[in-house]
Amino acid sequence: MARDPRYDILFEPVKIGPVTARNRFYQVPHCNGMGRKHPTAMAVMRGVKAEGGWAVVCTEQCDIHVTSDTEREIRLWDDRDIPYLARVADQVHKHGGLAGLELTHMGYHAGNYIGREVAMAPSGRPAYGNMPFHARAMDKTDIADYRRWHRAAALRGKEAGFDIMYVYAGHSLSLPMHFLSQRHNTRTDEYGGSMENRVRLLREVIEDTKNAVGDTCGIAVRLAVNELLGPGGITPDKEGRAVIEMLGELPDLWDVNVADWENDSETSRFTEEGYQEEHTSFVKSLTSKPVVGVGRYTSPDKMVSLIKNGVLDMIGAARPSIADPFLPKKIEEGRIEDIRECIGCNICIGTANQNTYMRCTQNPTQSEEWRRDWHPEVIPPKNTDDRILIVGSGPAGLEAARALGQRGYDVMLAEARHELGGRAAWESGLPGLSAWGRVKDWRIGQLHKLPNVEIFMDSEMTAETVRETGASLVALATGATWRRDGSGRYHDHAMQSALKFAQKIFTPEDIVAGADVEGPVVVFDDDHYYMGGVIAEALARAGRTVSIVTPSASVSSWTAFTLEIGRIQARMRELGIALHLDHTLTDIDMGEIEITDIYSGRTEWINCSSVVMVTGQNPNDALYHELMADKAANEAAGIRRISRIGDCYGPGPIAAAVFGGHRYARELGDHVGDGVPFKREIVELVAEI
């Protein structure tokens, strides 16, 4: 298909100092959990994005010196770090992209757990978060050292083959930004006080970098123009504007965003596409250099309007490039409906924050490009004559059917309900989760293009009807059901009182189905991801008096990893939801419940007419066990393998269900066996003991 001429503007080249980007699609720096520990997997992932059409593909933050050490990311401490980073640049170049390197010194944000160096800051202060250290105030020697380290890292980055070199003043976590900030910088020398003094270090480091590598590399500055802290923090009208006014023409490109990371990478539960525009749009009017900005952009029309209206020169993306590494190619080829839009859930960040291979809800091939040889767009054609039945059309069933269809298999997809999508359908009706519907919408759209996939709605399958289909392979994607009996993490077994007062106990599915819940309602959240908080929000918005009881110190505590935890706590408070944190539900009676402090054991009774249990889930695997109970009947029906996928196999986040469905399509439910099912990079022993 030809490209729509409306989108031509997105494919204009952009000059970035001595280098030229082939179009306006710019993958901004983003973490991925693989970093230097899994460098080949990381490099190939970056290369795939260049293959998908991103003109610029950047690394995650790259620590320039041992005084700035993080375990997860990449580093350029000395020459020995050059080869694995050269591999990143090579992979990006192989597919015609420019490779960008985000040089970073984290200042007081650095834990320095590895090198045990004392962290540094413009002025002495406690280290970031709750780390039990202090950062020391930098003297002039430290400032000179820092500048020299940054220059040395830039030279090494150039040697590694990078085309764009970053000076990083973003996310409230880098030294030039700490110097800029009145919160952190209380110096009285020429690096503190006036705006000009606070900008000095940033200016010097840009100049140093330009002098060192500016002959062949474009120099980019990542600048957070708003910390969303009000007048006490960095704001667009103070530091943001001043920096661009003073240094606007100095670097070759401005990559602007908001800080800190929680604000930069907000989820769709709290923000719409383009949420950073109001903060960053002023930048372009103050510089002639190209400006990049982010905001979970997935709509090509929106991208065009940003360019035409002079808001941005290049469309920055981290998450949209993870959800669909081929987004630019699809626009270029006129395949807009094939774009797999990011749903803004932050599972990517949540899993990268586990310091390992990042996952994506929409893109099951994320981080598997090298270790499993999974390409996001290409899948091997079928190599058996199987006819395959998928039972259940949730995220797992839809993805399995889609990818099997792409392989050329004959697929039957049977769904009991009148609607496709399973949990992706009902959960996207909950407050703030509407964008999650993209999980089903994209897959249903793709399925409609596959004549070899037949879809049967209103078809509740039984063991008998499964055997009548003529399928040789069967995958049960029948999902899971929230438990009603209170068992989960805290209670290993069913709560007897929950069984006794079953008429006042509800599950998330009941609430979505419109159950007549009497108030006051207590949500018992022993799940700790989003569901407890979202159900409480839905009930509060429906006018109920709601409390949450949770053994955690915060509501939805796992969302600390997805960067949502603060906003969720705020929302609970805004909605007037009473919080009983560090408490568990221990007894249920008529009209009240007993809750217990998990540390002291102290109990109290609170008013409660209905309880919503958000504790654990049971796989819907009755059909599987019924089928497996008569193997002879399966064999007689021509079925050679029956598998469970998605939540029916192991309940979890939607990302896990999509992955399970995709894996089934690649492996047809083959047993994992004794070996490791993916390639690994094994540590090489280089020193004598």
List, by residue number, the catalytic residues. Answer: 31, 168, 171, 264
225 binds ligand SF4 (CB under 6 A): no
Q: Which is nearer to ligand ADP, 459 or 586 (CB)?
A: 459
What is the closest distance, in whole angstroms, from the C-beta atom of residue 227 to ligand SF4 in the complex?
22
Closest CA to 580 of 520, 518, 522: 522
Contact positions with ligand SF4 (CB under 6 A) in 306-335: 319, 322-323
Q: Is 595 in the site for ligand SF4 (CB under 6 A)?
A: no
Letters for 352-371 (x = contact with ligand SF4 by CB under 6 A, - = none) are: --------xxx---------
Out of 35, 218, 344, 616, name the contact with ligand SF4 by CB under 6 A. Answer: 344
Shortest Å, Cβ 552 to ligand ADP: 24
Q: Which is nearer to ligand ADP, 326 or 664 (CB)?
A: 664
CB 253 within 8 A of CB 165: no
391 binds, among ligand SF4, ligand ADP, none (CB under 5 to 8 A by kind): ligand ADP
Q: Smallest distance from the beta carbon of 616 to ligand ADP, in angstroms?
A: 15
Residue 359: CB minimum distance to ligand SF4, A: 7
DSSP letters of 476-542?
E---EEE-SS--SSS-SS--HHHHHTGGGEE-HHHHHTT--PPSSEEEEE-S-SHHHHHHHHHHHHT
Verify binding: residue 345, ligand SF4, rule CB under 6 A.
yes
Q: Which is nearer to ligand SF4, 106 or 439 (CB)?
A: 439
Q: Outline where DSSP puts E strands in 81-182.
A: 98-104, 120-121, 125-126, 134-137, 164-169
Backbone phi, psi, residue 8, to 5°: -55, -40
Q: Is 654 in the site for ligand SF4 (CB under 6 A)?
A: no
346 binds, among ligand ADP, ligand SF4, none (CB under 5 to 8 A by kind): ligand SF4
List the one residue out of 328, 269, 270, 255 whose CA is nearest residue 297: 328
Cα separation, 478 vs 492, in Å, equals 25
Query: Closer to ligand ADP at the Cβ: 335 or 448?
Result: 448
Work out the angle at residue 44's Cα, subtended by the Cα atoms of residues 42 and 49, and round it to the nearest 5 degrees: 100
Residues 6 or more apart whose Cβ sits within 8 Å of residue 214: 17, 18, 252
Q: Which of 31, 169, 343, 466 binds ligand SF4 (CB under 6 A)?
A: 343
Does 294 participate in binding ligand SF4 (rule CB under 6 A)? no
Site string for ligand SF4, 555-574 (x = CB under 6 A): --------------------
Q: Residues in the site for ligand ADP, rule: CB under 6 A?
A: 391-397, 414-417, 422-423, 459-461, 477-479, 620, 623, 646-648, 657
Six-digit token pair at 349?
A: 């960040």
* Helix/strand/coil for 212: helix
Q: Which does 360 bind (CB under 5 to 8 A by kind): ligand SF4, ligand ADP, none?
A: ligand SF4
Selection from ligand ADP, ligand SF4, none that 343 binds (CB < 5 to 8 A by kind) is: ligand SF4
Is residue 643 at the binding interface for ligand SF4, with CB under 6 A as the rule? no
Asked whether position 28 contacts ligand SF4 by CB under 6 A, the answer is no
* Residue 112 binds which entry of ligand ADP, ligand SF4, none, CB below 5-8 Å type-dependent: none
Q: For tokens 């604000």, what's the residue?
A: 263
- How near is the Cβ of 366 to ligand SF4 at its closest, in Å? 7
Find the binder of ligand SF4 among 70, 263, 276, 346 (CB under 6 A). 346
Compute the least distance from the CB of residue 322 to ligand SF4, in Å: 4
**The pairing of beta strand 56-63 with beta strand 19-21:** unpaired
DSSP character at residue 280: H
Q: Does 440 bind ligand SF4 (CB under 6 A)?
A: no
What lies within 8 Å, CB to CB, of 309 at 6+ separation is: none
Q: What is the rounded CA–CA span in Å between residue 634 and residue 642?
A: 9
* All residues at 6 or more sequence positions from 622 whose CB lies less than 8 Å from its CB, including other chains: none
**263 touches ligand SF4 by CB under 6 A:** no
In whole angstroms, what is the distance from residue 118 CA to residue 127 CA? 10
Choose the contact partner of 104 out of ligand ADP, ligand SF4, none; CB within 5 to 8 A by kind: none
Expressed in angstroms, the distance from the first to the final Cα of the chain is 61
CA distance to 69, 93, 535, 609, 614, per residue, from 590 (Å): 56, 68, 22, 7, 20
Q: Contact, 265 vs 353, CB < 8 A? A: no
32 binds ligand SF4 (CB under 6 A): no
Which residue's CB is nearer to ligand SF4, number 360 or number 535? Answer: 360
Question: Minimum CB separation from ligand ADP for residue 418, in Å?
Answer: 10
Angle at 169 (CA atoms; ends 163, 170), nearest 5 degrees: 100
For residue 316, give both structure tokens. 């920055």
Residues 397 and 620 sit within 8 Å (Cβ to Cβ): no
Q: How far apart are CA 81 and CA 66, in angstroms?
A: 12
Q: Which of 48, 315, 327, 347 binds ligand SF4 (CB under 6 A)?
A: 347
Which one of 342, 463, 477, 495 is in contact with ligand SF4 (CB under 6 A)? 342
Which of ligand ADP, ligand SF4, none sits in contact with 322, Cβ below 5 to 8 A by type?
A: ligand SF4
Give the phi and the psi of residue 315 in degrees, each rounded to 5.
-90, 110
Residue 109 touches which of ligand SF4, ligand ADP, none (CB < 5 to 8 A by kind)?
none
The stretch near ligand SF4 (CB under 6 A) out of 227-235, 336-344, 397-405, 553-561 is 336-344
Helices and strands, counts by H and E, the chain:
23, 29
In which residue are the tokens 């996939």 written? Answer: 453
CB of 685 to ligand SF4, least distance (A): 36
Residue 648 touches which member of ligand SF4, ligand ADP, none, C-beta under 5-8 Å by kind: ligand ADP
Among ligand ADP, ligand SF4, none, partner that 393 touches (CB below 5 to 8 angstroms by kind): ligand ADP
Minimum CB separation of residue 45 from ligand ADP in Å reads 25
Residue ranges that bind ligand SF4, judged by CB under 6 A: 319, 322-323, 342-348, 360-362
